[in-house]
Structure 1
Amino acid sequence: MKTRHLLEIVFVAALCIVLTGCGARFLSKPVPGWISGPSTEYPPDRFLNGVGQAQSRERAEKHAYAAIAKVFRAKVMVQDRDIESYVTPDSGSSARSTHAIDIDRRIEVSTDKVLENVRIAEIWHDKKSDTHFVLAVMNLDIAGARLRARVRDLDENITHYVEKSRNPGPFNGSLQRVKHLHAAISDLDLRKTYIADLRVIRPTAVRGDAPYEISKLRSELSRLFAEHIVIAVEVTGDEAELVRRAVVEGLLREGLPVTSDRLDLSKPASRLRGEAGATAGPNLVVRGKAEFWPVMVPDPVFTFVRWCTDFVVVEMDTRRVIGALSHSGKEGHLSFDEAKRRALSSMQPILTTALAKTVADYIYGERKDEDAKNPAATCMDRKVPKRTFNAPVLKPLAY
């Protein structure tokens, strides 16, 4: 009797285990269809879907967002390749690289705006492989409406900037006109990217008519530069001509007009001779100095030369310092002449890139306020002890 009762208990326990396992399997969540194909709940004609998978939920969500972003980036990049640079044609390879970076930046901005409309719709965890699957979706109607609203805002801004450039008023000079026209061109570039986004969302429901033609505005900007913008460069100190040449080269690479005339900038009335004998002063003056001096380091082989450069950018109408650049360094070689050549080679890239970009950013309205707070004091602060180590006088370099 006891044996029979014990067998019944064992049978019931086994039956419970089997039923529990079957119930768990029956109640477990099946594999969603959106992992291997289109989602029925979020059809592709109304939603853009992105699937991400990873060992953690956080990484799977990032992959899902990236899947949607990749769709926009790839299609927008293809449509954006025909944009021409407004930089002057003779600015060399620098213009092409600058414009490529600008296209990339605009696509990043546009893609970030599009991703504001993406949400996580479903999550599934495969316990067997410990893998998280995430479905990110974007409602195409909502995203399209928001993009169209942004395009309308850009159209208003573009019209405003162009009118401000063409009708500057008594308190807006040539530099302000350039800033406004450049802002209109930048917004037109960004608008083109938004239109490309809309074509990804709704290919047949987009009209890309802009308030102005970007090619005509670029031509207008070029004429404005040629007729109303003059930048003067004055350099004092050691190797002044070579340093000035480096500064001018950097400005020309940025597509900026630089006069070859020399001005006596110590006099406020310094002017350039314009058409019909009229006098016209520069809008901006890049003024600076460069110095080289020997460093008497007791080295049995190498000799060393230290260099410094201080530059300021002055807006002549207001006499404001709108930018400053100071750099210094030390170079060594077997002779003082070769060490000085190497020091000059180290200085030139700074002048042709950083200083030129400071001027360009101000003209185009992209300079931050804190840029002008950098004091130019590198050369002014240096003190060379007299008759120390019988320091030699560096000779001008022969080129």
Structure 2
Amino acid sequence: MMRHIIILICLLLMGACAKAPVVPDWIAGNSAEYSSHRYLLGRGEASSVGLARDRARADLAKNFSVKIQEQSTDKLLWQQGGEGLQGLQTTISRNIQTQTNRLIEGVQIAETWRAEEGGNYHALAVLDRLQAGNRLRARINQLDAETTESINRARSEEALPDQISAARNALEVQLQRRNQQTFLTIIDTTGTGIRPKYQLADLKNDFDKLLSRWEITPRITQDDLGGGDDLLAGALGNIGVLHRADATAADYLLLGELSGKELNTADGWYWLRGVLTVSLQDRNSERIIGTYQWFFKVSSRQADLVKIRARSYLAAVLDRELLEVLTGFGSGQKESD
């Protein structure tokens, strides 16, 4: 009788063991099928399978975002008096996000697992190191070729705005290249990439030298807010351009029209809507190289503050975007509206 009981207990235990789910090795450790040598991995857990997969992708993406944050010195590189080159900083940040998104497009959900009914889902995201590395190397070579072309154009163009535009493009492209290199060192198990052909400090120095030669006289032809001349002069100084009060001493004029219209008061708020139009003109030929507009709308509880707020808003916009606009004129990217 005792023997039968023991056999029954053993059978029950064996049945329980047979029903126990086998936990995949990638849940808590290394995966035999998806080795870290061949793949970059990300893991996610959630109550729904879709959310678990999203978290796995996000976990994998952290490998890139954390590294970029650690190595990024863009703001330090660009600071030069006042607000510096904020417009280029914005472009750089946008490019980093775009490049990260492109890498994430190559991520695949290799496996999904759930322990039991009602339990959480687990997902494994993988990125093939070899395939991603090949894409990055091809992109780096392409960026190096584009940089060489921009440098040659900066040296061969006759007009200073065209030279500055080309030098700026070379600088921006190499910043993109540096980010690609950072991604490559993460994906490449050796931690190496492709040695840079150009030094960012040298490109930055070349750009600054050209920019310091650009002499522009700001001239407001319409000023509904007041202080328009100071607004343009301050913005030119902040981006490193030498502004001349005497138009005969400069080769270029920055013509500005600042129009504004006060709107009807609503619920105790005073509103002002307007537009700032700037045009870059060659003083000698009087040719308009390019024109750009910024539309704005501001409000205040006090009538005497609404124009002040409008000027403050425009000052911040110019510090952030004027350099990109002016160099865009040189490259033909900023067309007249």
TM-score by length of 2: 0.79
Pair 1:191 & 2:191 matched: no
Partner of 1:66: 58
Does the 8 Å CA contact 1:232/1:285 hold for their aligned counterparts?
yes
Alpha carbons of structure 1 residues 312 and 126: separation in structure 2 relative to 1, 3 Å: same
Aligned counterparts of 1:58 and 1:200: Cα–Cα separation in 2: 27
* Aligned residue type for 1:51: R
The whole-number CA distance in structure 1 between the counterparts of 2:115 and 2:40 is: 24
Task: Compute the displacement of 1:159 (Å).
Answer: 0.5
Change (3 A) 1:200 1:178: same
The one-letter code sitting in structure 2 at the alignment partner of 1:65 is R
Residue 286 of structure 1, CA deviation: 2.9
Q: Contact conserved, 1:313 with 1:359, CA < 8 A, in 2? A: no
Partner of 2:98: 109
C-alpha separation between the residues in 1 aligned to 2:114 and 2:44? 12
Does the Cα contact within 8 Å between 1:315 and 1:322 map onto a contact in 2? no
- Report if the CA contact (8 A) 1:174-1:229 is conserved: no
Match of 1:359 in 2: 322
**Cα offset, 1:239, TM superposition:** 6.3
Q: Is the 8 A contact 1:288 1:310 kept in 2?
A: yes
Matched with 1:281 is 251
Paired with 1:167 and 1:322, the residues of 2 have a C-alpha distance of 25
Q: 1:252 to 1:129 in 2, by over 3 A?
A: farther
Counterpart-to-counterpart distance in 1, 2:31 and 2:225: 70
1:64 and 1:203 mapped to 2: Cα distance? 21
Residue in 2 that maps onto 1:81: 73
- Which structure carries more relative contact order (alpha carbon 8 Å, separation 6+)? 2
By how many angstroms is 1:288 displaced?
1.4
- Aligned mates of 1:358, 1:319 — CA distance in 2: 19
User: 1:254 is aligned with what amino acid?
Assistant: I
Q: Distance in 1 between matches of 2:74 and 2:296?
A: 39
In structure 2, the partner of 1:160 is: 149
Q: 1:119 aligns with which of 108, 116, 120?
A: 108
Gaps of 5+ in 2: 1-10
Tell me the distance in 1 between the aligned counterparts of 2:139 and 2:325.
27
Residue equivalent to 2:3: none
Name the counterpart of 1:324.
Answer: 293
Instruction: Specify the alignment match of 1:12 in structure 2.
Output: none
Alignment of 1:91-110 (within 5 A): 92=82, 94-95=83-84, 101=90, 104-110=93-99
Provide the residue aligned with 2:4 in structure 1: none
Amino acid at match of 1:319: I
Residue 63 of structure 1 and its aligned partner are, at CA, apart by 0.7
The equivalent of 1:56 in structure 2 is 48
Partner residue, 1:345: 308
Q: Give 1:343 shift.
A: 2.8
Give the conservation status (yes or no) of the 8 Å contact 1:178–1:224: yes
How many residues align? The count is 321
Q: Distance in 2 between matches of 1:239 and 1:71?
A: 49
1:184 Cα offset (Å): 0.8
Cα offset for 1:228?
Answer: 3.7
In the alignment, what sits opposite 2:167?
A: 181
**Residue 313 of structure 1: how far off its partner (Å):** 2.2
Read off the aligned partner of 2:35 and give its amino acid letter. P
Give the SS at the match of 1:33: coil
Residues 315 and 60 of structure 1, relative CA distance in 2, 3 Å threshold: farther
Question: Radius of gyration: which is bigger?
Answer: 1
Identity of aligned residues (%): 22
- Could you tell me how far apart the structure 2 residues matched to 1:180 and 1:83 are? 21
**Aligned-residue CA RMSD in angstroms?**
3.7
Q: In the alignment, which residue of structure 1 is the partner of 2:233?
A: 248
Structure 1 counterpart of 2:213: 227
| 3-state SS in 1 of match to 2:110 | strand
Shift of 1:322: 2.0
Alpha-carbon distance change, 69 to 357 in structure 1, aligned in 2, over 3 angstroms: same
Aligned residue number for residue 45 of structure 1: 37
